[in-house]
Amino acid sequence: MSLRTLEGFKFSTLKTPVHLLDPRTKFLIVIAVLVPALLFANIYVMIALLLSQLPLLLVGKVARRWALSLRAGVFLSALIFVVNLFTGSYLSAIALTLRFLVLLTSFSLFFMTTSPDDLGLALDRIGAVRWLSRRWLGYPNALSFTFTTAVRLVPTLAVDAQTVVDAQRSRGLELDKGNLLKRVRNYIPILIPLLLIAIRRSLELAEALESRGFPGKEGRTSLFQLKLRPVDYAIIALSLAIIGISFWVYFHYKVPVL
């Protein structure tokens, strides 16, 4: 697996209509895809769900990067297919593999078009998150901040990972040499420095935050405010309808695999 597969989940700074949607709207789209995908193991439903996301990928200009994330999913898809062949019919194996691709696509779409900042803002608006955060960490914005920071550190860590690989190769380490066990052990010189860099960086970040007065006063304000636009309301209504209909069908009919 190469680090490029992460590209399929990385935010791209574009200003397409999809990027401009409210993060809460986009999260509801994910749910609206997730619910039917998990309720029905039907090949037609899966294909419909996949196709329905294509326009969003194209309008969001992330279709090419989505293809990258699919490439990363090839191995896992094959695994899911084979395992399900043994436990069920080949049709259900196809349906379940497609289900995996549907989920992969919707998460990939969400993360590629939603900036970590927007995500943090959206999380901050959720009462449950604020309540939990206050109970655990004594500060209502702490959880959403932790999340945003974690997401934001991924690209930085990817750069570090490349440097560590380069540094160890310069010491004669050959990652793809030896039998399977040896190959797994080859990654120890990569993972240990990377882990330590991450820990060291988070300690530094904590100190930097404290020296700048974090967490500050209760009720932090932000420069950008999330606002639902008419498009958002329309999509939210559509998503809720899909979720509602899915449940209604699920409780009234038995949907076959094909």
Applying CB under 8 A, the residues found at the interface with another protein are: 160, 163-164, 166-174, 188-189, 192-193, 196-197, 200
- Provide the H-helix boundaries in the chain: 17-20, 23-39, 43-59, 63-87, 90-113, 116-125, 127-137, 142-169, 180-186, 188-211, 230-252
- Least separation in angstroms between CB 200 and another protein: 7
Q: Which is nearer to another protein, 149 or 186 (CB)?
A: 186
| Contacting residues for 171 by C-beta, under 8 A, at least 6 apart | none
Task: Give the integer Cα–Cα distance in Å for 169 and 191.
Answer: 14
Q: Which is nearer to another protein, 195 or 238 (CB)?
A: 195
| Contacting residues for 247 by C-beta, under 8 A, at least 6 apart | 35, 39
- Least separation in angstroms between CB 114 and another protein: 22
Q: How far is CA 49 from CA 29, 38, 140, 246, in A?
A: 11, 11, 36, 12
- Least separation in angstroms between CB 186 and another protein: 10
Q: Which is nearer to another protein, 172 or 219 (CB)?
A: 172
Angle between helices 90-113 and 23-39 (to 10 degrees): 180
C-beta separation of 129 from 143 below 8 A: yes
- Least separation in angstroms between CB 59 and another protein: 24
Q: Which is nearer to another protein, 179 or 225 (CB)?
A: 179
- Least separation in angstroms between CB 177 and another protein: 8
- Least separation in angstroms between CB 165 and another protein: 9
Q: Which is nearer to another protein, 166 or 218 (CB)?
A: 166
Burial class (CB in 10 A: 0-12, 13-18, 19+), 57: buried
Q: Which is nearer to another protein, 39 or 164 (CB)?
A: 164
